[in-house]
Structure 1
Amino acid sequence: MDGRLARHPRRFPATVAVGFHFLDHAVHAWDIARAIGLDLQPDDDIAEAALALARLVPDDERRLAPGAAFSPARTRGARPGRPFDLVLVTLGRSPAWTP
């Protein structure tokens, strides 16, 4: 077992772990799409489910640490009529990002 995991065990209910994987896949699908010049906008039900999970991610000083998984949440950037933009700004991404 990796030493980091042994020192910092974290336990989550399976539903939470699956939810985090869902969020990860949804956001990284957007990352990849944008990196290749596509504009991915998941369906509203996916955006709503992802937003509920994104709001569970602490927005504190840990987001400023080197190698942090997320940047601090943005206060602006979500565009009207694009629900997944709220997920992106909540996790510190810019919906307007281009490669």
Structure 2
Amino acid sequence: MTQTIGELLESAADRALPVVRGIDDGQLGGGTPCAEYDVRALVNHLFQVVVNFQALAAREEVDFDQVPEFVAGDWRGRFGDETARLVEAWSVPGVEEGTTGRMGLPARTVGLMVLGDLTVHAWDLARATGADFVPEESVVDELGPGLAAMAPQAREMKVFGEPFPVGEGASAFERVLAVTGRDPGWRPTETAGAAGVSGTTGTPGAAGAPGTTGTPGAPGA
């Protein structure tokens, strides 16, 4: 049975929260697999995605060009609060029906964008800070075909990089990362890696305003 976006986001948030909450202040200036973001900027971007996609679930207008400063005060605690609101927003009955966002994309597609951002950017932050991160299998199963379908448009919008070559033995999640342009083997000491996503699936609207994963979802869901 197909899981709802709300259920998938809840699973993704459960895996992402320990990564974000475990980031030490001394790690905020470190590099990430998203070349244009250090850890602080990527956390801030992910915050923006989580907040804006709450609004998209409610069919409200969002502006990804305005980037508030989220990484201040008890930002770790607030990230947990905002992800809970995201799950709640995408769990409302009927939320996956119709379209949302400036591009008028199907609502479930937009939901998959933020699912991609939350999952892929959690991996970005885990790699950047040395944390453990293993995504929920059901989330990866949903993101695989979802991000592959979004990829051509996402690359055209400069949200995804060119696909990274992986071998036949690559895992399903490594293939998801490769589709966004990321090197699944990226480590902080390396200079190679994907041009990031920040967010849908962090979003051609996914995986980024710019940020879909970059963000698959941002520029404009």
Query: Does the Cα contact within 8 Å between 1:77 and 1:94 map onto a contact in 2?
Result: no
**2:164 match:** 74
1:12 to 92, 95, 105: 105
What is the alpha-carbon distance in structure 2 between the residues aligned to residue 40 and residue 87 of structure 1? 15
- Taking a change above 3 Å as real, the CA distance of residues 29 and 89 of structure 1, as seen in their structure-2 partners, is same
Task: Give the alignment of 1:19-98 within 5 angstroms.
Answer: 19-59=112-152, 63=155, 68-76=158-166, 79-80=169-170, 82-98=171-187
What is the alpha-carbon distance in structure 2 between the residues aligned to residue 26 and residue 78 of structure 1? 23
Across the two proteins, how many residue pairs are aligned to each other?
A: 90
- State the percentage of identical aligned residues: 29
- Taking a change above 3 Å as real, the CA distance of residues 78 and 49 of structure 1, as seen in their structure-2 partners, is farther
- The normalised TM-score by structure 1 is 0.73
Could you list the runs of 5+ residues in structure 2 that have no partner in the other structure? Answer: 1-60, 66-101, 189-221
What is the alpha-carbon distance in structure 2 between the residues aligned to residue 78 and residue 41 of structure 1? 20
What is the alpha-carbon distance in structure 2 between the residues aligned to residue 19 and residue 76 of structure 1? 23
User: Amino acid of the residue matched to residue 119 of structure 2?
Assistant: A
Query: Does the Cα contact within 8 Å between 2:151 and 2:160 map onto a contact in 1?
Result: no
Deviation at 1:24, TM superposition (A): 1.1
- Taking a change above 3 Å as real, the CA distance of residues 17 and 29 of structure 1, as seen in their structure-2 partners, is same
What is the alpha-carbon distance in structure 2 between the residues aligned to residue 39 and residue 88 of structure 1? 16
Query: Does the Cα contact within 8 Å between 1:54 and 1:90 map onto a contact in 2?
Result: yes
Stretch moving more, 33-42 or 85-94: 33-42
- Taking a change above 3 Å as real, the CA distance of residues 34 and 86 of structure 1, as seen in their structure-2 partners, is same
User: Aligned with 1:95: secondary structure?
Assistant: coil
Could you list the runs of 5+ residues in structure 1 that have no partner in the other structure? Answer: none
